[in-house]
Amino acid sequence: MEEIKTKILEKIFQKKKSLENISIKSLFEANPHRFEDFSFEYNKVLFDFSKNIIDEESLNYLIEFAEKSNLVENINDMFLGKKINFTENRAVLHTALRNLSGEQIFVDGKDISKDIKVELNKALNFAENLRNGIHLGCTGKKIKNVVNIGIGGSHLGPDMVCTALNKYSGDITVHFVSNVDPFDIEQVLKIVDPENTVFLIASKTFTTQETMANANKAKRWFLDRMSEPDFVAFHFAALSTNVRACKDFGVSESNIFGFWDWVGGRYSVWSVIGLSIAISIGSANFMRFLKGGYDMDMHFRNQPLNQNIPVLMALLGFWYNEFWNAETYAVIPYDQNLLKFSEFLQQLDMESNGKRINRSGEVVKYNTGPILWGTIGTNSQHSFFQLIHQGTRFIPVDFLACVNTGSEDIEQHKILLSNFVAQTEALMLGKSEAEVQEELKSENFSNDEIELLKPHKVFPGNKPTNVIIYNELTPETLGMLIALYEHKVFVQGVLWEINSFDQWGVELGKILAKKILSELQIGKIDNKHDGSTKGIMKFLFDNFKS
């Protein structure tokens, strides 16, 4: 099999060489139906990949490589609960959290679908009790504020979704605290009232250093104002698997919401980690969010590879990463509601596929996960788009836009969309030397001025883009978009033969931080540290305010 895959890769490499001097523009000229051939619509979402440096033959080679990488088998293994997270001997079943088919899913011989429903219903009931004024604070006041304390997947997903779906939010304001920098939680505590605030502590183990530091600070703040330890049960809930530690903290067992080791942090927004979302938008809308994820799961699981949107996105990323030396790619939503979408995707993609060891335990000889970055348009046009247009790096871009935002100012929205469309066209077409010369002549520049300015105003173009357009950003649409990128990341992990579901690289810094913390607390530096670390710590000691 490896020999076959190597031969396919060689075909892909040769095909890449043949496309190096062919423009995307010329591909459109050669095929009047290119848009129809290289775009798909699913559930009112358009995926257009026609503005890519790719033709039918190169795409077929990439699909053939995916087939020989046993992609279909890997997809089935994930959905069936096989332990594809082989370094931790775990299943990967975030898809089970949004499974609305009634299909039984087994882990270690046990059907987990019943347990999922129990925890989901418990969390949704809690959310509705807060929203409807049934669950009150210790003094009988209705809850007006919820503070979600987490980090990583326990923060990025819920924060992003609550921001994106803010138009569905009710009377309760949801705040998010993640940074162990005390300034983060102190800013929130300044504006909330202990009598009408509930804290959600999101930590699978209930030992995460940053999260527990903030949780303990919140508890001290609360007790300083409410005095009775028993009141903690009214105002704190836990999203965790460590029931004993939650109880010791003071959380009532009825307010402990569990999940499982087959739920990875960056895939946990679908679980009780999404409780803050359900509180913000309501349980009915949270179910719509799950439905959107489920719909994309069905598309991913059932569509042939050549019509499968997550697969095609993954193959394009693989194509550019491996054969065009694209070390980064940008995700640019032209939708203010998706302000935090790119940040969320950074963890999803780079924590998943930032790996250097393959399934055989060997160091890979190729590039794996790219660097993902970006922010909303049109802001991005006035910050880093210069680099994409005329810089020296090859940077593919995903563009996302919403047709109907709900704003009454349709004309201003058209300004936004005109920028969205124009940037994809400008990146493809560029501007030739002849066009620049003609333009400068028409503006009455002298020949000397034209020669000076001309090279600076040439745009090479031929910059690839994917376009995703959705009719409206509903809970279903957002669920689909998240699941789309989840599956794209998974497919690329299969192609690179890496485990997309562990994150050992995150652990080393945590271990060292605990050791250094103890030294900072006692004021003594271990001589085993390198010179730089010792110098930094001495500077800290010398400048701490007493």
Q: What is the pLDDT of residues 333-356, one digit of tens each?
A: 999 999 999 999 999 999 999 999
- Domain ends where: 239, 257, 288? 288
| pLDDT of residue 330 exceeding 90 | yes
| pLDDT of residue 472 exceeding 80 | yes
* pLDDT value, residue 177: 98
* pLDDT value, residue 21: 93
Domain shared by 337 and 347, yes or no = yes
- Taking phi first (over 0 means left), then psi (-120 to 50 degrees means alpha), and beta for anything else, what does residue 430 get? left
Q: Which two tokens stand for residue 11?
A: 């075909």
355 as an active site residue: the answer is no
Q: Which two tokens stand for residue 303?
A: 């569509």
| pLDDT of residue 1 exceeding 80 | no
Domain shared by 367 and 261, yes or no = no
Tell me, letter by letter, the H, E, C secondary structure of 62-104: HHHHHHHCCHHHHHHHHHCCCCCECCCCECCCHHHHCCCCCCC
Domain shared by 388 and 333, yes or no = yes
Question: Helix, strand, or coil here: 431?
Answer: strand
Question: 248-305: per-residue pLDDT in tens?
Answer: 999 999 999 999 999 999 999 999 999 999 999 999 999 999 999 999 999 999 999 9
**Could you say which of 195, 210, 322, 351 is catalytic?**
351
**Could you say which of 114, 365, 382, 456 is catalytic?**
382
Domain shared by 483 and 515, yes or no = no
Domain shared by 278 and 351, yes or no = no
* Residue 98 falls inside a structural domain: no
| pLDDT of residue 539 exceeding 70 | yes
| Cis status of the peptide bond prior to 378, with omega within 30 of 0 | yes
Domain shared by 525 and 425, yes or no = no
* Residue 208 falls inside a structural domain: yes
* Residue 3 falls inside a structural domain: no
The predicted model gives 202-230 an average pLDDT of 93
- Residue 532, domain extent: 507-543
Dihedral angle, C-alpha 501, 503, 504, 507, nearest 10 °? -150
The domain spanning residue 343 has which CATH number? 3.40.50.10490
* Residue 136 falls inside a structural domain: yes
510 as an active site residue: the answer is yes
| pLDDT of residue 102 exceeding 90 | no
**Could you say which of 510, 514, 515, 524 is catalytic?**
510
Confidence label for 401 from pLDDT (cuts 50, 70 and 90) = very high
Domain shared by 422 and 358, yes or no = yes
The predicted model gives 323-341 an average pLDDT of 97
Least confident of 48-57, 154-163, 193-202, 220-229: 220-229
**Rounded distance, CA 545 to CA 190, Å?**
23
Domain shared by 483 and 514, yes or no = no
110 as an active site residue: the answer is no
* pLDDT value, residue 546: 63
Q: What percent of the chain shows pLDDT beyond 70?
A: 100
* Residue 513 falls inside a structural domain: yes
Domain shared by 452 and 470, yes or no = no
* Residue 17 falls inside a structural domain: no
* DSSP one-letter code for 337: G
Residue 132 has a CB neighbour count (10 Å cut-off) of 11
Nearest CA to 380 out of 392, 394, 397 is that of: 397
Confidence label for 508 from pLDDT (cuts 50, 70 and 90) = confident
* Residue carrying the six token digits 């990949």: 49
**Rounded distance, CA 286 to CA 126, Å?**
13
Report yes or no: 234 and 179 within 8 Å, Cβ to Cβ.
Answer: no
* Residue 27 falls inside a structural domain: no
**Rounded distance, CA 400 to CA 422, Å?**
13
- Taking phi first (over 0 means left), then psi (-120 to 50 degrees means alpha), and beta for anything else, what does residue 252 get? beta
* Residue 233 falls inside a structural domain: yes
Domain shared by 357 and 225, yes or no = no
Residue 94 has a CB neighbour count (10 Å cut-off) of 22
| pLDDT of residue 234 exceeding 80 | yes
Dihedral angle, C-alpha 215, 217, 220, 223, nearest 10 °? -60
The per-residue pLDDT of the chain, averaged, comes to: 96
The number of domains in the chain is 4
Domain shared by 254 and 156, yes or no = yes
Those residues with Cβ within 8 angstroms of residue 239's Cβ, 6 or more apart along the chain or in another chain: 150, 154, 200, 201, 202, 203, 257, 259, 272, 273, 275
| pLDDT of residue 327 exceeding 90 | yes
The predicted model gives 47-61 an average pLDDT of 98
Domain shared by 278 and 261, yes or no = yes
